[in-house]
Amino acid sequence: MSDRISDLFGAVFLWLRELGFAFSGPNVTWTIGQVGFIALAFVIALSLDKRITAMCERHLQVIAGSAALSRLMNVVVHQMKIILFAGLLWLALVVMREVTWPSRSQIILSAASLATAWLVISTASRLIRNRTVAKLVSLVAWTVAALNIVGLLPATIAALDAAAIQMDEFRLSLLVVLKGLLTLSVLLWLAVTLGQFADSRIRAVEDLTPSLKVLVSKIARVLLIVVALLWGLNIIGIELTAFAVFSGAIGLGIGFGLQKVVSNLISGFILLADKSIKPGDVISVDDTYGRISQLAARYVSVISRDGREFLIPNED
């Protein structure tokens, strides 16, 4: 039994040394310094948390019109402590690696990686309602943190980048695919959230007619999504000219497969631009008679006199 305990302590001791802990020799000072700074960073984060949180909460009513954006800001505000803690650790890591050997900042690297992983996981669990997706994000965060702590993250990135297909000047690697999925998912979510916020602000403007409000809101949402797509492709290093070969096929597919969708979208913009109908108008289409409650991207929502809702395609 004592031999097993001794082996366990020996394994823990070796693991701590691999993480950068020194229990003898000249590097003991660096170990104490790193542990001390981690404790100091936590104390600073605790002291600044209440002040910054109170300041942010005073400005939350400005974005109260957007449920998604308000939810995001509430999560950020209540995660301020860990955000400050992780930020201070990463800042210290950058400074230490500029002035001394990387091995002398390994403990701070481990703490910063774990703090960042915890931040990502706690934020995802609050923002992502799908439990499966939230668990997937948590798994990815812990995996990246573990690889970074043991020093295998650069090798893993290189292996993912090596798994690639080459077509003339166009190169597509597994790393680019993963980066693209992550980047585009975040940017598109931000675009949709900002679109909802813009819609709430536009609807609050009294000088615009109801039709013009809907038109401006739709244009803003489309522009935000397009910008998010282009920006995401640019961030992950994919040149848009590389897709010139596929753009014709994609356009043809949209023309045939999504003909009805595109037709309804264009019809919706035309209805809004010529101001022929607006929310609140009473219309009759075939056997449907009622009041317009909403002008959506692909349909018009009509409430009949008996309270039933009908969705009429814009092209009709």
Q: Which residues are 295's β-sheet partners?
A: 300
The average confidence (pLDDT) of the chain is: 73
What's residue 306's pLDDT?
A: 77
H helices present in the chain, as ranges: 2-18, 28-57, 67-78, 80-99, 106-127, 131-150, 153-162, 174-203, 210-235, 244-257, 259-273
82: closest CA among 54, 120, 55, 56?
A: 120
**Each residue's pLDDT tens digit, 5-14:** 555 545 544 5
| Secondary structure class of 167 (helix, strand, coil) | strand
What global pTM score does this model have? 0.53
pLDDT value at residue 223: 83
pLDDT at position 236 is 66
Q: pLDDT band for 25, please (50, 70, 90 cuts).
A: low
For each of the domains in the chain, give its residue range(s) and CATH number, in order of start: 2-151 (no CATH), 159-257 (no CATH), 270-316 (2.30.30)
So what's the pLDDT on residue 262? 64
Q: Is 127 exposed, middle or buried (0-12, 13-18, 19+ CB in 10 A)?
A: middle
Q: What per-residue confidence (pLDDT) applies to 11?
A: 53
Q: What pLDDT score was predicted for residue 64?
A: 52
- Banded model confidence at residue 269, pLDDT cuts 50, 70, 90: low
Query: Which pLDDT value is given to residue 99?
Result: 79
pLDDT digits (tens, 9 = 90+) for 187-242: 887 787 777 777 777 777 776 667 667 777 777 888 888 888 877 777 666 665 65
pLDDT of residue 95: 86
**Residue 208 Cα distances to 63, 201, 216, 217, 278, angstroms:** 20, 12, 10, 11, 12
Whether 267 has a pLDDT exceeding 60, the answer reads yes
DSSP string of 215-276, one letter each residue: HHHHHHHHHHHHHHHHHHHHHTT--GGGGHHHHHHHHHHHHHHTHHHHHHHHHHHHHHHTT-
pLDDT at 162: 81
What mean pLDDT is predicted for residues 63-90?
A: 76
CA dihedral 96, 99, 104, 106 (to 10 degrees): 40
Over the stretch 276-289, which tens digit does the pLDDT of each residue have? 677 777 777 777 77
Q: Give CA–CA dist 274/87, Å, rounded.
A: 51
Predicted confidence at residue 113, as pLDDT, reads: 84
